[in-house]
Each structure stands twice: as C-alpha cells, then as structure tokens.
Amino acid sequence: MDRKYRVMVIDDEESARKLMKAAFRWEELGMEIVGEAASGIEAINTIDDIRPDIAFVDISMPFMDGIEFTKIATERYPNLIIIIMTAIDQFEYARKCVSLPVFEYMLKPLVRTEVVEVLKRATEKLSHIKSSWDDREENDEAALPEETNSTELIKKYVKENLADPQLNLAFIAQHFGFSSSYLSRKFKQDTGKNFIEYLTDLRMKKAIQYAENGYKMYQTASEVGIPDPNYFGRCFKKYTGKKYSEYTEK
C-alpha cells in the first residue's frame, strides 16, 4: 500500500470519538485517524483540510445531523467512504439514508470484528477507485487563463454568502466548475492564503463586529455561518485569543 488511508470520526460524544480512536490498531489496517468533529457543521468546516478517505458519521448530532452531512458530503466528495453509525432506536430514521451512497450502516455500540470487516471492504473499494482529477485540472486551467478574475469572483461570492453554513472549498469549487485541488492551489497563489484561512478570517472579523455590538453568541454564530455554538466558540477563541463573552462585556 502506497499510503495510509485517512479516517475521520464525526460524533457529538467525545467519549465515542476517543473510543473509536483507541479501539483499533489503525496502522495494521493501513489507516490513520487524521481528524474528528463534534457536529456536521464542524465537519463541513474542517473536511477540506483533513481530506479523509473514510468518515464514520453518527446519525444523531445537533445543528447538522448525520443524514444532512451525508447528503452534502457525498455530493461534494464522491469518492468519500461514508459509514453511518446509529443506535437501534434510530434505525428507522437511518432508513432515510437509503437513497444516499452510504457504504455501510453500523449499530452502536460498534463490534470490533464487524468494523474491521467493513474497513477491509472499504480498503478494497478505495484501491480500485480510478481518479480523473488530472484531466479535470487540465480543463480547469484552460477554463481559467479565459476567466482571469475568477479568484475575485469567488471572493465576492464568499462575502455575499458568508452566513451559509455549507460554504467550504468543495462547495465553491463545485459552484464555479473547478476541482477542489486545483482551486485550492489557484486561490493560495492569487491571495497568499488558503481558502479556509480566508473564509475563517472573514467570518471572525464579522463575528468580532457582532460581539462588540452586543449580539448573543448563538446569534453571531448563525450570522457568520457557524450555527454550532461550541465549534464557533473554539474558532473565535483560537482567532482572537479571547472568549466571546470578553468582547460582549466591553
């Protein structure tokens, strides 16, 4: 195997995420845990940087549940292996995912041997996926030197749609008809920032304005496209070095 397959765990229970990371010898499976998220919103905001091959997704999460995340993720990342995790009393709810390209449904609590078998099948599928990204990127380059101000158009679109929680690199690439990998390089080349840095910078600057005007945190979080207040709070603290309440108290 040329490289380890990248695994992401998306579950609002921290204990479940920790258990998932500790329960398997990931290296022996040819895999590594590269990221986690406590909600679908957090996953959408970080998935472009994490770039997982496989995502374990809890079906019941606040702000964006597993079904909604799966709808978005499978449309934007067609090669992503999605494994839905659900409790027995949520199984009928999970049936709504039947029309989505979910690789497997697994009942909680997960059984180690069953997970290993699913991961082996996932590895087989991933090893047979033939990518067409190189041809796609050549087409992207030809379409761009024609649209020389594409990056400016993208920046304008992002500013006008900042409150959309589904906004990320894959969404923008799809909207403008480019591959994510090419657009990522092009955006960094033109702006000096990668896309997630640019998006986060815009959102946090707007959030600071709302905070200084006395907006409640949940209101600001929604206004800047991060309606999960826990994830928003972490982003705000990382960006400003202060808690949101410290700004509203000024």
Question: For residue range 24-61, what is the model confidence (pLDDT) as tens digits?
Answer: 999 999 999 999 999 999 999 999 999 999 999 999 99
Look up the CATH number of domain 5-128. 3.40.50.2300
3-state secondary structure of 53: coil
Ranges in the chain annotated CATH 3.40.50.2300: 5-128
- 152-198 confidence digits (pLDDT tens): 999 999 999 999 999 999 999 999 988 898 899 999 999 999 999 99
Cis status, amide bond into 101, omega within 30 of 0: no
| Torsion angles phi and psi, residue 215, rounded to 5 | -65, 145
Instruction: Say if residue 134's pLDDT is above 50.
Output: no
pLDDT for the residue 242: 94
Instruction: Say if residue 129's pLDDT is above 60.
Output: yes
Q: At what angle do helices 229-240 and 195-212 cross, to 10 degrees?
A: 90
- Token pair belonging to 109: 């609590």
- Token pair belonging to 56: 């374990």
* Mean pLDDT rounded to a whole number for the chain: 89
pLDDT-wise least confident of 90-94, 130-134, 199-203, 217-221: 130-134
pLDDT for the residue 97: 66
| Torsion angles phi and psi, residue 110, rounded to 5 | -70, 145
pLDDT for the residue 99: 77
Amino acid making up residue 128: H
pLDDT for the residue 89: 75
- 196-250 confidence digits (pLDDT tens): 999 999 999 999 999 999 999 999 999 999 999 999 999 999 999 999 999 887 6
Confidence of residue 2 (pLDDT cuts 50, 70, 90): low
> Does domain 134-248 bear CATH number 3.40.190.10?
no
Nearest in space to 168 (alpha carbons), one of 40, 80, 34: 40
DSSP classification of residue 89: G
Instruction: Say if residue 133's pLDDT is above 50.
Output: no
Ranges in the chain annotated CATH 1.10.10.60: 134-248
- 95-122 confidence digits (pLDDT tens): 666 678 899 999 999 999 999 999 999 9
Amino acid making up residue 245: S
More confident residue, 92 or 47: 47
Confidence of residue 148 (pLDDT cuts 50, 70, 90): low
Confidence of residue 128 (pLDDT cuts 50, 70, 90): confident
CB atoms within 10 A of CB 148: 8
Q: How far apart are CA 235 and CA 230, in angstroms?
A: 9
What global pTM score does this model have? 0.87
CB 156 within 8 A of CB 111: no
Residue 95: partners with Cβ closer than 8 Å, 6 or more residues away: none
Nearest in space to 46 (alpha carbons), one of 82, 17, 73, 13: 73
pLDDT for the residue 250: 65
